[in-house]
Amino acid sequence: MCPAVAVAEPVPGAVMSVEPLPAELSVPGAVVAERLTYRTQWRSGVAAVGTGVLFLPPGEAPDGGWPVVSWAHGTVGIGDDCAPSRNRRIERERRYLAHWLSQGYAVVAADYPGLGTEGLHTYLDGPTAANSIVDVVRAARAAEPSLSQRWVVVGQSQGGHAALHTARRATARAPELDFRGAVATGAPSNLELLFPFGVPGFPDLDLDGLVSFSAYIMAGLRAARPDLDVNSYLTPVGRDLVDAAEYLCYGDLEDRAADVDVGQLLSRPLGDDRMRAALADYLGVPTRGYDRPLFVGQGLRDRMVPAPLSFKLVADLWAGGADVDYRTYPDDHFATLFAALPDTTPFVAARFVR
């Protein structure tokens, strides 16, 4: 008999491939644009493959290398065709990433596991997204020696949620790097407290994207927790929409959901003990254990992520001892991204002073 041979677990951040990114998929101001395929992990610790991009600014790297902004993207969908590294980024995101390049940062951007790689992207699964956001920094440094160990995470919307999770685990996950802090704007939070109120016939709350976001959440939860039998909570209309959410990107899902009210999705309440516990585990944002400064920005006219959700989040973060710079803006969900730049730009610069 042959002796058993130990097989090493894939190392998170290990580079599997590097390829030039087509020019139409790059962003203004990037003199290098590459697509990375790398090793990462699901929240369970099971090995996963991630993809992402690396953008470099012009000029020579400063002493110590280019400081790194790890960008956490907002909602695009959960199907492979929705992966940001496979598509031209929307103009808003192109302008935003160009800003950070113009400030002298290298920008890396994870797609999140399941977007363009094996498995379904588990939407708003913060720990899994955070793993990929940390590991794309590792991969980028392995692929590009001019990058510094020093880095921050910046995220908007879904990416704001992911940025907070990243900030909670970055130092412990990658002690060989030098994590400095996080920016999160328009970050959904406390959803685990709201979803259990969902019942059949729940009224329309006049929130932008609510039906589509709910479908993505239920699709992700269904994939992450098959033991819950998520389909048993859904009407035929709900099951059809959640099935479609697995492959339709956000704009197409919005079109598909245009005539569906959120109350049409559910066949029974989401408030039983088992579902409440699952939602808390799946959707919750940690409020303790942060070891680096946070910037949290919120639009007061945000109709996707209402401001009161962030009020409670920040109160809980402060109570938990986090160093949080909290700012509000008289703007909607997307305008807040740019309204906050006069504050987020010096916040990020200050993280790299020492």
Flag the least confident range among 4-13, 28-37, 115-124, 337-346.
4-13
Cβ-Cβ contacts under 8 Å for 338 (sequence gap 6 or more) = 95, 96
Mean pLDDT of the chain: 96
Could you tell me the pLDDT band of residue 165, with boundaries at 50, 70 and 90?
Answer: very high
Distance CA 238, CA 214 (A): 10
Residue 6, pLDDT score: 45
Output the pTM of the full model. Answer: 0.96
Residue 202 has pLDDT above 80, yes or no: yes
pLDDT per position as a tens digit, 38-72: 999 999 999 999 999 999 999 999 999 999 999 99
Distances (CA, A) of 16 to 191, 238, 339: 36, 38, 38
Helix (H) or strand (E) holding 211: helix 210-224
Confidence of residue 5 (pLDDT cuts 50, 70, 90): very low
Predicted local distance difference test score (pLDDT) of residue 3? 46
pLDDT score of 175 more than 60:
yes
Q: What residues does 65 pair with on adjacent strands?
A: none
Give the alpha-carbon dihedral of 95, 329, 154, 306, to 10 degrees. Answer: -110
pLDDT at residue 250, as a whole number: 98
How many Å apart are CA 125 and CA 158, to the nearest integer? 10
Q: Are 215 and 243 in contact (CB under 8 A)?
A: no
- Residue 10 pLDDT level (bands cut at 50, 70, 90): confident
Look up tokens 């059809």; give the residue.
240
Distance CA 67, CA 150 (A): 6
Q: What is the DSSP letter of 234?
A: B
In this prediction, residues 89-102 reach a mean pLDDT of 98
* pLDDT for residue 7 is more than 90: no
Evaluate if residue 83 carries a pLDDT over 80: yes
What pLDDT, in 10s, does the model give residues 297-336? Answer: 999 999 999 999 999 999 999 999 999 999 999 999 999 9
How confident is the model over 224-229, as a mean pLDDT? Answer: 96
In this prediction, residue 133 has a pLDDT band, given cuts at 50, 70 and 90, of very high
Binning pLDDT at 50, 70 and 90, where does residue 8 land?
Answer: low
Contact of 151 with 137, CB cutoff 8 Å: yes
Query: Which residues fall within 8 angstroms of residue 315, CB to CB, at 6 or more apart?
Result: none
Mean pLDDT on 217-233: 97
Residue in 79, 71, 78, 41 with CA at minimum distance from that of residue 54: 71
Q: Please report, rounded to a whole number, the percentage of residues in the chain having pLDDT higher than 90.
A: 96
